[in-house]
Amino acid sequence: MGIPTLRLNTGRWNTTRSFDQLMKDRGIEPRLEGYTDDQGYQWVIDSINQIIPRCRECGVVMGLENHWGLGLTPEGVMRIVKAVDSPWLQVTMDTGNFLEDPYERLEILAPKTVLVQAKTYYGGGIWYSLDLDYQRIARMLRKHNYKGWVSLEFEGKEDWKTAIPKSLALLRQAFSAAAE
């Protein structure tokens, strides 16, 4: 496929069956009965370690996304990245997956970020909305010498025909200003 980076996440416990309910619960769900978070982290780490040789062979860096499950917190993401300790596993920063204190949490991920998924919510979000300061995020990434892709992830209710051009203009302005 010729891609430099592949998005990856930890998966979930799947104890919350409805995604709508998971969003109401702010991405937090109980673990499977009889198992611990430590066991879950080890499963994720072991699984990633199994595919590292193939990533190296193909020249594709995996970016572990701050997503639900064990990747809900920056500490959880970094626990896995540090345990795998490979240049073939870095971070995919999703700007919209930290519902509280996003900037402090994104800052923890920024040094290892290889791909940014920038969320916008024109027309209000489907499950939630965040008013993200992309100039601040762009400056943060610039400080950590980020040179990768910024992909748009639109999750708003506005018609995509108007929201996507506005989103792209917002991101272009923020990231070009940070480059100066």
User: Which tens digit of pLDDT belongs to each residue from 82-114?
Assistant: 999 999 999 999 999 999 999 999 999 999 999
Query: Percent of the chain beyond pLDDT 90?
Result: 93
> b/e string for 81-117 if b means 16 or more Cβ within 10 A?
bebbebebbbbbbbbbbbeeebeebbbbbbebbbbbb
**Of 76, 131, 132, 145, nearest in space to 108 by CA:** 76
What residue ranges in 71-136 does DSSP mark as E strands?
A: 89-94, 113-120
Boundaries of domain holding 35: 5-179
Which is it for the CA torsion 111, 92, 161, 123, positive or negative?
Answer: negative
Residues 111-143 pLDDT 10s: 999 999 999 999 999 999 999 999 999 999 999
The DSSP call for residue 158 is S
The total of structural domains in the chain comes to 1
| pLDDT for residue 180 | 67
Q: Dihedrals φ, ψ of 137, to 5°? A: -65, -40
Q: What is the CATH number of the domain that holds 170?
A: 3.20.20.150
| pLDDT for residue 2 | 78
Please give the model's pTM, rounded to 2 decimal places: 0.93
Asked if 110 and 142 count as a contact pair (C-beta separation under 8 A), the reply is no
User: 7 forms bridges with which residues in the sheet?
Assistant: 63
Residues 54-85 pLDDT 10s: 999 999 999 999 999 999 999 999 999 999 99
